[in-house]
Structure 1
Amino acid sequence: MSVSEENCANESCGHWVTGTWTKCSSTCGQGIRRRTQLFIDPQLGADAHIVLRDAECPLPKPSETESCGAVECPASWITGEWTECSASCGSGEQKRTVVCEGRDARGRRERRPEKECGSAGKPPAVQMCSLGNCGKPQLLTNRVFEQNANERKLTLGIGGVATLYQGTSIKIKCPRKNFDKKKIYWTKNGKRIRNDAHIKVSANGNLRLFHARMEDAGVYECYTDSLQGNVTLRFKYRDDDKPNRLRPSQLHKGHKGKNKNASLFEAILSAGSYSEMARELQKHRDTIQARWEMGHWTDCKQVTCGVAGYQAREVTCSVMVDGVRRTGDPRLCTALASPRPPETRPCHKEECPRWDASDWTEVAKSKKYRS
């Protein structure tokens, strides 16, 4: 104890008066609470509260702060800043980081599993953006292309509708001029295409489809910095396409023990070509029935005003054998019912805004104004 403390042991030199603690600055993750300190000098009376500098007070000053809220904080979603729009005009993307974080009892930030934040309320990490129209899109909506059966490889341009044979390898060119080709990307029915062994966007921005399948039908859109366009692809079977070897159980489950049905399936599956399979199926219309099941059309999806949008629907083949109905191979419906209905169709939802000017009015002194 210092000399000043010994001399002031009986509070003849005064004493500190402390206020109440404030509310903790944080309910978790360690916060701080504060209180005020006043020094009373008894020589001036018990009611005289004199505020002195710390060095002038004869007694040590009690603590004005202390830690509080030393409990772990619950996890929450933390978002970063949006990046710049990926396109200088037309539709593009913006991205940001979205992580699940919490704070421990000492206030240190730490990454938490996403399930602690609740995936249902996760903020979006990607959003569409637009910095204005890119001008008149290069799109030919009235162009229709029908493939020659002898062609195995095709190169197409943007615009219109193309009906192609299954198995064709296709290249679709994206119009481009004076910009970075690495920024070109493609979508199918509104979903961005990711490169794989079957479909990819080449280094020069063209779309490549290798040995196209019936399920490749849809609306393909090309996006660049300065323009966009789309093309609708539809597919049909070649007459010489051989059907895949399907197990009888895939066509008719639950009837494995019936020799009549097994023989029927063997006759169908042993057909050497699609035409032979169709003729064999025609003999057994009373046993096997097929029809196309079609879902509802989606709302018109139009990315940019003035550019034709599209609608999509689900098309499946429904096969009935001895009263049991299930989803079957699309070729059965093509043979027994009719050609596959289209899964997409163009639509036009919104025109671009434009200025409409009225005629000039005649006023005095030959001045002209218009509204």
Structure 2
Amino acid sequence: MWYKQDSISSSGSAVIFLLLSTLGPVFSQETPPDVGMYMWRVIVGSCSRTCGPSGIRLTLVICTNPQFCTDDEKLYTHDDIVCRNRGLPRPMAPPEVCNRIPCPGGWIVGEYGDCSSYGKRTRDVYCEQRPIVNMEALYTASLGEPRRASDSACIAPKPSTIQECSLAPEIATPLVSHQDAFYAVGQEGCIHHGRQLSIDAVIVAGSPMPTLTWTLADSTELAVNETSGRARVLANGTLVVANVKDRDDGIYVATAKNEHGKDMKMSKITVV
């Protein structure tokens, strides 16, 4: 049995029919040139799809005689019966499945959540892909229901999951530590003469980062790392007043402020 197999770029039966029309003159059953060596030529087409459930590769089998090929890019073809009458069984060339792989997925993008205390908000972003059902079936394969897949299954850049956001300030009221008259902002307390007063102020929210100031009982205002007499504000926002006296009795106010608003917490201190 004589046949030759080639590979060309074609896609689907429509392309194969087009290919036949470009191969050169076709000799009819009644007028085949009776010279030379007749043979079957097998031309394998490319896959009709690059992914998904419907990829099929078709193969073209033609009867030809190489002696009538005057150009490497042209073939002289004959009706199949010309080769059959010369005892050449036609090669089998059934359609084949090909490229039956899931196509790249797509990104599913959720809504952004609330702005966090550090000026960020997040959203859920994941890749979704549809699997192939009954993959090996020639004509009945199909797409399954979408399902969550690894990020590598999506070829497009992944959308951002984090976004900057703006938030008004908020000062927390921390737990009280009763050591040397330590009071939390927003609470009342008593302190003896000569002791050191410490009041904590913790900014738990705000974007851009708020500025913190303290207003003392005598209306003096202090920013972080500033000092006035016996009072100073530490880098962490804690107000410290050393060697407390009667005139330190009163209201102390912590204020956090940014362009979106402000928050205030007060402590009433009694010197005894």
| TM bracket (short chain) | 0.3 to 0.5
Question: Which entry has the higher C-alpha Rg, 1 or 2?
Answer: 2
Question: Which is helix-richer, 1 or 2?
Answer: 1
Q: Which TM-score applies when normalising by structure 2?
A: 0.35
Q: Larger relative CO (CA 8 A, sep 6+): 1 or 2?
A: 2
